[in-house]
Amino acid sequence: MNRIALPDFPWDSLAEVKATAQAHPGGVVDLSIGTPVDPVPDGIREALASVSEIPGYPTTHGIPALREAARGALSRRHGVDGIEPDAVLPTIGSKEAVAWLPRLLGFGPGDVVVIPELAYPTYEVGVLLAGASILRSDGLTALGPQKPAMIWLNSPSNPTGQVLPVEHLRKVVEWARERDVVVVSDECYLALGWESDPLSILHPDVCDGRADGLIAVHSLSKSANLASYRAGFLTGDPRLIKQLLEVRKHAGMIVPRPVQEAMVAALTDDEALRTQRERYARRRLVLRKALLDNGFRIDHSEAGLYLWATRDEDAAATVRWLAGRGILVAPGTFYGPKGGKHVRVALTATDERVDAAVERLTQ
The pLDDT of residue 2 is: 60
The pLDDT of residue 7 is: 79
Q: How confident is the model over 310-323, as pLDDT tens digits? A: 999 999 999 999 99
What is the mean pLDDT of the segment spanning 102-108? 97
| Cα end-to-end distance, the chain, whole Å | 56
* Geometric angle at alpha carbon 344, from 338 and 346, rounded to 5°: 155
Residue 259: is its pLDDT beyond 70?
yes
What is the mean pLDDT of the segment spanning 37-49? 96
Q: How confident is the model over 8-41, as pLDDT tens digits? A: 788 788 899 999 999 999 999 999 998 999 999 9
Q: How many CB atoms lie within 10 A of CB 64?
A: 12
The pLDDT of residue 146 is: 84
The domains found in the chain, sorted by start residue, are: 8-37+269-360 (3.90.1150.10), 41-268 (3.40.640.10)
Q: How confident is the model over 289-307, as pLDDT tens digits? A: 999 999 999 999 999 999 9
- Name the pTM for this structure: 0.94
Percent pLDDT > 70 in the chain is 99
* 226-246: b (≥16 Cβ within 10 Å) or e: bbebbbbbbbbbbebbeebbe
Report the C-alpha gap between 94 and 75 in whole angstroms.
Answer: 20
Report the C-alpha gap between 174 and 137 in whole angstroms.
Answer: 17
Q: Give Cα 330 distance to the centre of its chain.
A: 16
DSSP for 110-176, written as a single string:
T-EEEE-SS--HHHHHHHHHHT-EEEE-SSSGGGTT---SEEEEESS-TTT-----HHHHHHHHHHH
Please, what is the average pLDDT of the chain?
A: 95
pLDDT band with cut points at 50, 70 and 90 for residue 5: confident
Nearest Cα to Cα of residue 264 among 51, 2, 11, 15: 51
